[in-house]
Amino acid sequence: MAVLPSLVTVADLAALLGRTFTPQQELQAQALLDQASSVVRAYVRQDITRATTTDTFTMRRADPLLHRCGGVVTLPQRPVVDIASVEVNGTATSDWWQDGSDLLVRAWSWDQPPAAHRAPQVTVTYTHGWDPVPGDIQAIVMQATNRVIVNPSGIRSETVGGESVTYLIPAVGEYLGVLLSRTEQKVLDRYRLTAASVRVRDC
């Protein structure tokens, strides 16, 4: 599987912070941006960046009240920009159409038992993701990265009754590091995948 690029560049982060990184700081910033990008992608279950992927999925029967077709596959990576090719059980077909993230195969005769227990396998090559990356996603990646740059140990100090007290967690009760706050998760929820087709394999 190809390594996905960071959702934010080091140059973007430096511009936000209004500073110039040394070569060593650039390496640290890049590593943190990579981590933050991975955390965001894991939360939303999306690659986010524009890419073309070939995957194989298990077709499911269409709901006759919603779709008049032979079967449906829901493509997990979004938004779906273009579908280049479709194969059903190894046979190329152009008898399909797209409805949002759903690929609908117009006509397909499902096998009778016992072969009916083996649902058709659909191989799809499609382009998906955003170009450019949405600004709110980039902002969250930079926030998560900057938390570690500014306070790598997660230390918070305050003075109580004339005594200095130091904590390893912030006032919200958790040391976030390159993890996501609840507020950041709420922002990302609009991009999060909550249901998807069964993914069989990468091609």
With beta carbons less than 8 A apart as the criterion, state whether 51 and 76 touch: no
- Cα separation, 55 vs 36, in Å, equals 26
DSSP state of 126: E
* C-alpha radius of gyration, the chain, whole number: 23
Mean per-residue pLDDT for 38-54?
A: 97
Can you read off the two tokens belonging to residue 34? 């990579």
With beta carbons less than 8 A apart as the criterion, state whether 199 and 57 touch: yes
Instruction: Assign 142 to helix, strand or coil.
Output: helix
Q: Where are the beta strands (DSSP E) in the chain?
A: 51-58, 71-74, 80-88, 91-92, 96-99, 102-105, 121-128, 156-160, 163-167, 199-202
pLDDT digits (tens, 9 = 90+) for 76-130: 999 999 999 999 999 999 999 999 999 999 888 776 676 666 889 999 999 999 9
Can you read off the two tokens belonging to residue 79? 């938004």
pTM for the complete prediction?
0.81
Per-residue pLDDT band for 150 (boundaries 50, 70, 90) equals confident
- Cα separation, 124 vs 55, in Å, equals 6
Mean per-residue pLDDT for 160-166?
A: 57
Give exposure, 109-130, as e/b (b: 16+ Cβ within 10 Å).
eeeeeeeeeebbbbbbebbbbb
- Cα separation, 137 vs 127, in Å, equals 20
Residue 172: its pLDDT value, please?
A: 47
